[in-house]
A and B are shown apart, each in its own frame.
Chain A
């Protein structure tokens, strides 16, 4: 291993200790961010909070854009490169859900804290963390709370920024709350779809096969599950949610199924999407109901390879912290970097349970390791380890 990089790994305990020293600030940011509801397309208040924090740290160009992202720049010594650090602002929880967070020694509990309030808290604490650790990067650090990431948002915020940026981005880090050890540097092909089954008002309930929206949606699901999937390239169809019916004594007229097709092959994703679309058309003709198939998001497979310097050094940093790296593909913000051929990784910060439930609980202690990992990775990228151009001692 490069001696300079080994020296950087030696500094990780120092980064961890620094993170612990700023734990109150980090926890407070976590609470204050989490308690602002931010359903996808409703991130405005959270964005404002992030901008207030960026302004307080006197970051430059603190601003929002047409997509509703929150942005700020910490200028580097030379400013020759720009590193983009991203956390997504939206959560899966609607406004009316109780967003209250509770803190006890060792754990924090609340809706959306892991996905991705902790990532955002790390983001807004990072300028102070770097200053506290006496780290001044050469590269400019661009902080971004990205809007419209999840579900129908289809990572629109980061896509908008990367499509319209007027500065080159050399590399990116996507920060997620959970789980520590998670490392993604490639995206799989993905199609996120929704099938909406609607029985027309004038429907003849005496016709053959008339069974209401739930029965017929069940038929659609069975047919989707009958589609043969290859072992290689690895492929899956995940049924994510079903909504149908109203009550007893009422024939269900509507049903909605949300699903994702995931595959290492982009072509196979498209083919499976076509097959599901055909199933919908056939069901519609058989039952006389309207069966609508909508594609909400698509991702192309891609990313950096296992041996890319960024991936390799990220693994080394995680291992040096005593954590076992778990490599998994991602379909989140990372995909937008991949589409633009920008080397990037997604990392997690801590352990937790009840992920994406209202009572999600995060362990506090591992967060310090997670922050040390983030700082270590930033320094590594800054020193050229992301592209193999590391400065010689």
Chain B
């Protein structure tokens, strides 16, 4: 595939969808419903603003989204209280499909959203975005509403602070450029065209979401890309430039843990797909170091990338969909 041609046809800027009246009309013509899922864990500082802005702009002013749901991993702060106070539906992930074994992680919340939420399209937006704006949603659902062949729309952020005319580099953060893009370049070269594969904001059609497994930890975004690419092809993807995302910066050591989790997911996918040979049993312990009084010591983290199966294989979900269809 000509990646430059793909970039040209499947890469958007959010301003292309800012006529919300037109977008809502197109959504209604297509008979689509859209759910917004915000996975949370202790996000009391930013959640209120996200809920207020999305409800006001995208439900009251223009009915682009049909429900907003907070799916929480067990916050100990006031995240759920604030979100409910501002009018969002709030759920504890552990209360959804309670008969299943409990797991904790962002991927778990995203996966359970497929069961809990009703929309034909689910938009996932992280809760820690300081400069939240309606474009985070309409920029992602726009391509799905306008182009039926697109299944999965990923956000990227590209707004340089200063730039003179000419060519400038573009791309993702540290983990993307040091780990993901080199791995994709080696084993899934076409996926390198996804500018920010780890961004936590994306919109996906339900029929895709229910077909793919969900790692519950760091690897969920990477595995999605590989799985959707394998089930469909690059034409199922689109990406939208949302300009700028202001959020907390993570220290390098945290990124190390993230990279370790992602690498586990990547290797298991690559092995399963026969892209690489059979792997030996690998450790799930990440070792980092610290020093005290000139004595170095290891710090060990156990990072196990557990995975939920495709939602369509869950019996309770099958029943729910049957009920939904019979209505």
User: In the complex the two chains form, is B130's CB within 8 Å of A28's CB?
Assistant: no
Q: In the complex, are the beta carbons of B56 and A105 less than 8 A apart? A: no
A250 CB, nearest partner CB in chain B, Å: 28
Name which of B81-89, B181-189, B196-204, B314-322 contacts chain A. Answer: B81-89
Cross-chain contact A103 with B48 (CB below 8 angstroms): yes
Residues of A within 8 A of B60 (CB): 24-25
Interface 0/1 of A6-49, CB less than 8 Å to B: 00000000000000000011011001100100000000000000
A100 at the B interface (CB under 8 A): yes
Of B56, B87, B130, most buried by chain A (CB within 10 Å of CB) is B56
The interface size bin for chain B is: 20 to 34
B154 within 8 A of A: no
Interfacial chain A residues near B131, Cβ < 8 Å: 35, 100
Is the pair A24, B246 in contact by a Cβ cutoff of 8 Å? no
Does any Cβ of A come within 8 Å of B49's Cβ? Answer: yes
Q: A102 contacts the other chain (Cβ, under 8 Å)? A: yes
Residues of chain B within 8 A (CB-CB) of A56 are 61
Name the A residues within 8 Å of B82 (CB-CB). Answer: 104-105
CB A224 to nearest CB in B, in angstroms, measures: 40
Tell me the bound Cα distance from A27 to B60 in angstroms.
Answer: 13
Question: Would you give the shortest CB distance from A306 to chain B, in whole angstroms?
Answer: 40
Considering the chains assembled together, what is the distance between the CA atoms of A302 and B218 in angstroms? Answer: 66
Say whether B205 faces chain A, with CB atoms less than 8 Å apart. Answer: no
Tell me which residues across on chain A come within 8 A of B86, comparing CB atoms. 24, 103, 105
A101, CB-defined interface residue at 8 Å: yes
Residue B45 is within 8 A (CB to CB) of chain A in the complex: yes
Bound: A100/B133 CA distance, A: 11
Return B181 CB to nearest CB of chain A, in Å: 29
B55 contacts chain A at the CB level, 8 A cutoff = yes
Chain B residues near A102 (CB-CB < 8 A): 45-46, 48-49, 130
- State whether A105 touches B53 (Cβ < 8 A): no
Within the assembled complex, what's the spacing in Å between the Cα atoms of A101 and B87?
Answer: 19
Are A31 and B49 CB-contacts (below 8 A) given A24-B87, A105-B85?
yes
B57 CB within 8 Å of chain A: yes
- Rounded to whole angstroms, the CA-CA distance of A100 and B245 in the bound complex is 11
Chain B residues positioned under 8 Å from A105 (CB to CB): 48, 82, 85-86
The answer on a CB contact under 8 Å between A28 and B48 is no
Residue contact B48 to A104, C-beta cutoff 8 Å: yes
Interface string of B38-77 (1 = CB under 8 A from A): 0000001110110011011100110000000000000000
- Residues of B near A27 (CB, < 8 A) are 52, 56
Give a binary string over B237-276; 1 marks a CB under 8 Å from any A CB, 0 the rest. Answer: 0000000001000000000000000000000000000000
Given contacts A35-B131, A104-B82, A105-B82, contact A28 B46 (CB under 8 A): no
Q: A100-B246, A102-B46, A104-B82 are in contact. Are A28 and B52 (CB under 8 A)?
A: yes
Q: List 8 A-B contacts (CB under 8 A).
A: A24-B87, A25-B60, A28-B56, A35-B131, A102-B45, A102-B49, A105-B82, A105-B85
